[in-house]
């Protein structure tokens, strides 16, 4: 990769398009006039499927081009243009994808919100992001929008996807999505954006605190294209299923942009996770590439592998996971029981795309995130007192993941937080806030987030290592580990565990798990305390909220819990 330059890849796209770079152009228009234009771009599986076998909607690249041109023309008629923010609060229905790409088409900024957000999280984000247009479901209006509408001074237009009869619930002043786009022609239209023009506003998961608004530029598409090929092994003939919702960055970078730019057919499932349904989708639609998350994989494990073995999963050529540390146990079990090799990869909302990954032709070491993508320089660093960084060279040292700036998907700012953005960079490196180690063969191993590291008797303990060992115990389904303040040793390691079905919590089981962990981890690293928890608190994107467990343990305020999955 000595000769690989991201700048050249950006220049290639600019030349191909005739001097501009627009995500929508790369995703759709570029395929027009090729064999791809009449191919299914997105196959939408309605939540009524499989009860209703026909509840599938196929949109070709050409269909999507037409519909996004109509929507873009509609936005233009409202006076929406470059830089204006179009928010979407939609489930995974086809309108969401038309809104995303149509917004990008005219150079406006697309901002997806997770559809399960209630009024308050929607208000905070729409206010902060100065939403001009909001596209949502008519059925969401009464609960989620009506209470906050008057508090959003920049919000000029509400467009509703009419899943209920809006006239019956008396919604004031709105545009009906279908009528709206039907009233505009699909004549071709594209805004000739520059690579640095802002295209996307993505809010982070809020795992460590109040969610941040990360801004991404149109040039990110270049990274989405190549990283999809390299890290997810995407090819034109594939059927790809990214299970992430576009409300989170994975669901946009790899659940909209990357697959379309690579000209393949992708699946979108409207329904929420359900083990049998997921196996059925993988089987019936002959998924070749599957991108999912550790929480989903652990839930599939909970449902038992016997269920999975009833399905034909042999078409899966490549499976990958992101979002949280992938415990080795999960990789081992999926390989053993279902012959599926899960490739872990690491990245963040801020990085815009996959940074460290396992590849198809690489030996997988269960528990490792893999190696940096070609064209990416990663260093493990320590911050010094003068505000600088020192690179760690010795294999096995724990350091913060730092990435040399210059990859096109890197975020271009935190909305309204310039100082915070500036502080993320030292000496031409972006500092991620995550700690990892690298072994002598160049594989990276996740240790924990800086905020989650536990300092006990002078040792630095990463929760991931402890959680992974706890999960090897036959009774443990999921585990979360925190540092509990202690006058003598600084912090003690405290674990919370949930159990697999058929196991019941008792003092004896607790002692057994304690002993099991101590044998494998040694007395310093093993938990001193273990508590049972029915379900771990998680963000809506499926990440364990260790900070919440910690504040509850210490009786402190819970902080921002706008992304909490279930208030428990
Ligand atoms: P916030 O920044 O608001 O606290 P967040 O960091 O969880 O939320 P995201 O950008 O969605 O928001 O998540 C990125 C983080 O997820 C990474 O910084 C890392 O901590 C974790 N992560 C992602 N992939 C992996 C992985 N493969 N292994 C370990 N951790 C991962
Ligand atoms: Mg983060």
Task: Name the least confident of 241-255, 310-324, 540-554.
Answer: 540-554
CA-based nearest residue to 259, from 231, 239, 281:
239
- The burial of 103, by beta-carbon neighbours within 10 Å (0-12 exposed, 13-18 middle, 19 or more buried), is given as buried
Read off the pLDDT of each residue in 415-441 and give the average, rounded to a whole number.
96
Residue 354 confidence (pLDDT): 98
DSSP H helices in 255-327: 258-261, 275-284, 294-302, 305-308
Q: What contacts 24+ positions apart, CB below 8 Å, involve 512-515?
A: 512/473, 512/475, 513/470, 513/473, 513/475, 513/476
Q: Look up residue 332 and give its two tokens.
A: 């081992």
Our mutation pick for probing the ligand 1 site, out of 124, 128, 205, counting the most ligand atoms within 8 A of Cβ, is 205
Same fold, 6-438 and 456-554: no
- Tens-place pLDDT, residues 116-141: 888 988 999 999 999 999 999 999 99
Asked if 319 and 343 touch (Cβ cutoff 8 Å), the reply is yes
**Phi, psi (degrees; rounded to nearest 5) at 349:** -55, -40
Percent of the chain with pLDDT over 90: 85
Read off the pLDDT of each residue in 177-183 and give the average, rounded to a whole number.
97
Residue 30 confidence (pLDDT): 97
Asked if 89 and 136 touch (Cβ cutoff 8 Å), the reply is yes
The partner residues of 401 in beta bridges, in order of sequence, read: 380
**pTM as predicted:** 0.94
Alpha carbon of 448 to ligand 1 centroid (Å): 10
Cα distances (Å, whole numbers) of residue 375 to 229, 473, 511: 13, 40, 48
- C-beta 403 within 6 A of ligand 1: no
Task: Name the least confident of 329-338, 362-371, 553-562.
Answer: 553-562
- C-beta 467 within 6 A of ligand 1: no
- C-beta 346 within 6 A of ligand 1: yes
Alpha carbon of 180 to ligand 2 centroid (Å): 37
Residue 210 confidence (pLDDT): 85
Residue 1 confidence (pLDDT): 61
Asked if 217 and 196 touch (Cβ cutoff 8 Å), the reply is yes
Per-residue pLDDT for 561 more than 90?
no
H-run or E-run covering 110: strand 109-113
Residue-wise DSSP of 467-499: HHHHHHSTTEEEEEEEEEEETTTEEEEEEEEEE
The partner residues of 371 in beta bridges, in order of sequence, read: 357
CA-based nearest residue to 135, from 166, 151, 111, 152:
111
CA-based nearest residue to 267, from 241, 245, 287, 244:
241
Per-residue pLDDT for 103 more than 90?
yes
Task: Name the least confident of 211-220, 419-428, 504-513, 557-566.
Answer: 557-566
Q: Residue of the nearest CA to atom 18 in ligand 1?
A: 348
Give helix 463-472 / helix 507-525 axis angle, nearest 10°.
140
Asked if 318 and 340 touch (Cβ cutoff 8 Å), the reply is no
Our mutation pick for probing the ligand 1 site, out of 114, 345, 347, 437, counting the most ligand atoms within 8 A of Cβ, is 347
Per-residue pLDDT for 568 more than 80?
no
Read off the pLDDT of each residue in 65-75 and give the average, rounded to a whole number.
98
> pLDDT tier at 166 (50, 70, 90 boundaries)?
low
Distance CA 45, CA 534 (A): 32
- C-beta 369 within 6 A of ligand 1: yes
**Phi, psi (degrees; rounded to nearest 5) at 550:** -70, -45
Asked if 339 and 311 touch (Cβ cutoff 8 Å), the reply is no
> pLDDT tier at 224 (50, 70, 90 boundaries)?
very high
Distance CA 303, CA 316 (A): 20
Give domain limits for the chain.
Answer: 6-438, 456-554
Residue 567 confidence (pLDDT): 39
- Tens-place pLDDT, residues 134-165: 999 999 999 999 999 999 999 999 999 988 87
Q: Residue of the nearest CA to atom 5 in ligand 1?
A: 205
Query: Taking the CB of residue 287, how many other CB atoms lie within 10 A of it?
Result: 22
Residue 135 confidence (pLDDT): 98
Class of domain 6-438: alpha beta
Per-residue pLDDT for 169 more than 80?
no
Class of domain 456-554: alpha beta
Read off the pLDDT of each residue in 6-29 and give the average, rounded to a whole number.
95
Read off the pLDDT of each residue in 312-319 and give the average, rounded to a whole number.
98
CA-based nearest residue to 407, from 105, 9, 3:
9
Read off the pLDDT of each residue in 459-481 and give the average, rounded to a whole number.
93
Distance CA 266, CA 218 (A): 21
Per-residue pLDDT for 566 more than 60?
no
Asked if 446 and 434 touch (Cβ cutoff 8 Å), the reply is yes
Our mutation pick for probing the ligand 1 site, out of 207, 372, 437, counting the most ligand atoms within 8 A of Cβ, is 207
Distance CA 215, CA 203 (A): 9
Percent helix, strand, coil in the chain, to 5, is: 30, 25, 45
Radius of gyration for the alpha carbons in the chain, expressed in angstroms and rounded = 23
- Tens-place pLDDT, residues 370-409: 999 999 999 999 999 998 999 998 888 899 999 999 999 9
* Mean of all residue pLDDT scores within the chain: 94
Alpha carbon of 449 to ligand 1 centroid (Å): 8
């Amino acid at each position: 990769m000595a000769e690989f330059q991201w700048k050249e890849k950006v220049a290639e796209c600019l030349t191909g398009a005739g001097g501009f770079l627009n995500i929508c152009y790369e995703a759709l228009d570029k395929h027009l006039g090729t064999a791809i234009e009449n191919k299914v771009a997105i196959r939408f599986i309605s939540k009524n499927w499989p009860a209703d076998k026909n509840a599938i909607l196929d949109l070709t690249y050409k269909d999507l081009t037409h519909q996004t041109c109509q929507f873009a023309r509609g936005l233009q008629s409202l006076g929406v243009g470059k830089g204006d923010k179009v928010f979407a609060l939609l489930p995974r229905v086809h309108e969401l994808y038309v809104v995303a790409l149509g917004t990008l088409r005219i150079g406006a900024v697309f901002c997806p919100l997770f559809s399960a957000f209630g009024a308050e999280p929607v208000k905070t984000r729409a206010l902060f992001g100065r939403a001009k247009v909001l596209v949502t479901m008519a059925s969401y209006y009464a609960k989620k929008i009506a209470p906050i509408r008057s508090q959003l001074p920049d919000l000029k237009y509400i467009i509703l996807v009419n899943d209920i009869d809006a006239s019956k619930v008396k919604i004031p002043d709105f545009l009906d999505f279908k009528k709206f786009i039907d009233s505009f022609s699909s004549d071709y239209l594209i805004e000739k954006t520059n690579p640095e023009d802002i295209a996307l506003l993505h809010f982070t998961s809020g795992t460590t605190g109040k969610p941040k608004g990360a801004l991404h530029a149109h040039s990110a598409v270049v990274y989405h294209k190549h990283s999809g090929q390299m890290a997810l092994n995407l090819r034109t003939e594939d059927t790809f299923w990214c299970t992430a919702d576009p409300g989170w960055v994975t669901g946009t970078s790899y659940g909209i942009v990357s697959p379309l730019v690579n000209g393949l057919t992708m699946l979108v499932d409207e329904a929420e996770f359900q083990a049998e349904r997921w196996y059925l989708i993988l089987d019936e639609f002959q998924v070749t590439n599957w991108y999912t998350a550790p929480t989903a994989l652990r839930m599939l494990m909970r449902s038992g592998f016997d269920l999975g073995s009833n399905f034909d999963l042999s078409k899966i050529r490549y499976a990958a996971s992101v979002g949280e540390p992938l415990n080795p146990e999960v990789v081992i079990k999926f390989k053993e029981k279902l012959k599926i090799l899960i490739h872990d990869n690491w990245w963040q909302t801020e990085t815009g795309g996959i940074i460290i990954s396992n590849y198809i032709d690489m030996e997988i070491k269960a528990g490792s995130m893999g190696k940096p993508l070609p064209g990416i320089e990663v260093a493990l660093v320590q911050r010094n007192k003068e505000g600088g960084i020192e690179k760690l060279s010795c294999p096995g040292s724990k350091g913060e993941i730092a990435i040399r700036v210059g990859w096109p998907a890197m975020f271009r700012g935190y909305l309204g937080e310039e100082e915070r953005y500036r502080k993320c960079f030292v000496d031409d490196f972006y500092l991620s806030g995550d700690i990892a180690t690298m072994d002598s063969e160049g594989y990276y191993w996740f240790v924990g987030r800086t905020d989650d590291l536990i300092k006990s008797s002078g040792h630095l303990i990463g929760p991931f290592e402890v959680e992974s060992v706890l999960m090897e115990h036959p009774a443990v389904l999921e585990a979360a580990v925190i540092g509990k303040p202690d006058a003598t040793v600084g912090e003690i390691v405290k674990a919370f565990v949930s159990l697999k079905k058929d196991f019941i919590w008792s003092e004896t089981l607790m002692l057994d798990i304690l002993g099991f962990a101590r044998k494998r981890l040694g007395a310093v690293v093993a938990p001193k305390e273990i508590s049972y928890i029915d379900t771990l608190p998680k963000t809506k994107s499926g990440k364990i909220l260790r900070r919440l467990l910690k504040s509850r343990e210490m009786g402190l305020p819970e902080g921002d819990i706008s992304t909490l999955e279930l208030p428990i």
